[in-house]
């Protein structure tokens, strides 16, 4: 890759994205990379209906671009006309993060330095649509952001750098996404100067190490208590806040916000359950403690720590249980859980 002929000229960057996860990086560019990097245009998804009123609302990226006065484009699809709009911006680089459109090959190659993508996993692991949720739900201890060159194959382009972040035991998507969002800043702080100098190097991914995650749906918010408690606790955290796991308690659908796994019950709780004749078949409510509501699983016990009834707020378990009586010995129905990860790309499912 050749270096720029005039290092004093800012790198002209077009950003393509539709999710607020990119905002810390964009804020860093306009506040800390002045004179080195210049955003010359923003592409994002069209306004979509949202909320109870289904009113068309701008996404976070559009709102940010309007606030800062950047040229804004919201194409419904990427076609030749959109390619002409990109070309008119004279970009050195297109930078993509959570855009939501498949890019044409000719569109990818228009900028002089091509098109780079920020993907929220440690590629080649978790290519696909839900890497943040999947990393938590599969009990990973770390995740990260990978900077890669876009090619036609899904998240399979060569990698130049990545920023690793930890996954804490109580992380839901909200906490991990915030950490990944901030991780984009040091990653791009390293990448931009090397791109300008012509020293940014790329390495091909090892396809034998690749795994794939899929687009999630509301149907994924089920719980199979025949599975190990550790798996269930991780899945509940990984799917919060969307699509969110839910169970039936006393005929009422209860959403779950946080869970923890234990191999054994406290002696006091086990003794109370035994005196009451409560068995430990998967899905059985064993009782409650200061930590939450205990249920038996195929291996160990899952403690439901945050719960929400219809029309209510997500509450800590003890606060929830003060207003919603749950009896020991209730059997909570299980539902089969579809796999979140595969060694091959998941088939496309229409929205």
Using CA atoms, how far residue 32 sits from 28, 38, 185, 203, in Å, is 5, 11, 10, 28
- Burial code of 176-201, b = ≥16 C-beta within 10 A, e = fewer? bbebbbbbbbebbbebbbebbeeebe
Integer distance in angstroms from the first to the last C-alpha of the chain? 39
* pLDDT above 90 as % of the chain: 90
pLDDT of residue 49: 83
Residue 5 pLDDT exceeds 70: no
Residue 337's CB is within 10 A of a number of other CB atoms, namely 19
CA-only gyration radius of the chain, Å: 23
pLDDT attached to residue 195: 95
Query: Average per-residue pLDDT in the chain?
Result: 94
269 alpha carbon, distance to own chain's centre = 36
H helices then E strands: how many in the chain?
A: 9, 18
pTM score, whole prediction: 0.93
Q: What is the pLDDT of residues 114-156, one digit of tens each?
A: 999 999 999 999 999 999 999 999 999 999 999 999 998 999 9
pLDDT on residue 159: 98
Comparison of pLDDT for 8 and 31, the residue scoring more: 31
pLDDT of residue 347: 80
pLDDT in tens, 266-307: 999 999 999 999 999 999 999 999 999 999 999 999 999 999
Q: What are phi and psi of 29, to 5 degrees?
A: -60, -45
Mean pLDDT, residues 311-320 taken together:
97
Q: Check: CB of residue 44 under 8 Å from CB of residue 17.
A: yes
Residues 6+ positions from 334 with CB-CB distance below 8 Å? 223, 224, 225, 226, 282, 283
Kindly state the average pLDDT of the residues 311-325: 96
Q: Provide the pLDDT for residue 349.
A: 55
Residue range 50-73, pLDDT digits in tens: 767 778 889 999 999 999 999 999
Residue 226's nearest CA partner among 320, 336, 142 is: 336
Is the model's pLDDT at 7 over the cut of 90?
no
Confidence of residue 350 (pLDDT cuts 50, 70, 90): very low
pLDDT of residue 209: 96
pLDDT value for 3: 47
Collapsing DSSP states into helix, strand and coil, what is residue 128?
strand
**What is the per-residue pLDDT across 152-170, written as a single tens digit (0 to 9) for each?**
899 999 999 999 999 999 9
In this model, does residue 48 exceed pLDDT 90?
Answer: no
Q: What local confidence, expressed as pLDDT, does residue 2 receive?
A: 43
215 three-state secondary structure: coil
Q: Judge whether residue 351 has pLDDT over 70.
A: no
Q: Which whole number is the average pLDDT over 19-27?
A: 98
Is pLDDT of 106 > 50? yes
Question: Which phi and psi angles does 300 have, rounded to 5°?
Answer: 85, -165
Taking only the tens place, the pLDDT of each residue in 252-277 is 999 999 999 999 999 999 999 999 99
Mean pLDDT for 186-206 is 96
Residue 6's pLDDT is 55
């Amino acid at each position: 890759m050749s270096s720029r002929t005039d290092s004093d000229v800012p790198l002209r960057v077009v950003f393509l994205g539709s999710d607020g996860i990119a905002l810390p990086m964009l804020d860093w560019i306009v506040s800390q990379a002045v004179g080195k990097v210049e955003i010359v245009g923003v592409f994002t998804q069209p306004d979509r209906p949202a909320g109870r009123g289904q009113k068309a609302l701008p996404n976070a990226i559009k709102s940010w671009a309007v606030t800062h006065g950047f040229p804004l484009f919201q194409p419904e699809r990427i076609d030749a006309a959109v390619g002409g709009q990109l070309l008119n911006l004279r970009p050195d680089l297109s930078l993509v993060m959570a855009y939501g459109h498949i890019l044409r090959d000719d569109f990818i190659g228009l900028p002089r330095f091509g098109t780079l993508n920020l993907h929220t996993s440690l590629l080649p692991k978790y290519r696909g649509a839900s890497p943040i949720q999947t990393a938590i739900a599969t009990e990973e201890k770390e995740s990260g952001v990978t900077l890669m060159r876009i090619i036609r194959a899904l998240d399979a382009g060569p990698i130049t750098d990545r920023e690793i972040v930890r996954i804490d035991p109580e992380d839901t998507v909200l906490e991990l996404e915030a950490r990944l969002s901030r991780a984009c800043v040091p990653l791009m702080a390293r990448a931009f100067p090397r791109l300008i100098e012509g020293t940014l190097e790329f390495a091909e991914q090892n396809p034998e190490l690749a795994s794939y995650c899929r687009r999630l749906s509301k149907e994924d918010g089920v719980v199979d208590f025949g599975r190990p408690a550790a798996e269930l606790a991780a899945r509940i955290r990984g799917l919060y806040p969307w699509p969110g796991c839910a169970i039936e308690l006393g005929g009422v659908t209860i959403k779950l916000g946080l869970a923890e796994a234990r191999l054994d019950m406290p002696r006091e709780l086990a003794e109370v359950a035994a005196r009451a004749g409560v068995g430990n078949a998967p899905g059985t409510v064993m009782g409650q403690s200061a930590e939450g509501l205990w249920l038996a699983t195929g291996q160990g016990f899952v403690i439901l720590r945050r719960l929400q009834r219809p029309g209510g707020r997500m509450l800590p378990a003890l606060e929830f249980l003060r207003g919603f009586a749950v009896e020991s010995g209730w059997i909570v129905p299980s539902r089969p859980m579809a796999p979140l990860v595969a060694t091959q790309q998941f088939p496309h499912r229409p929205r």
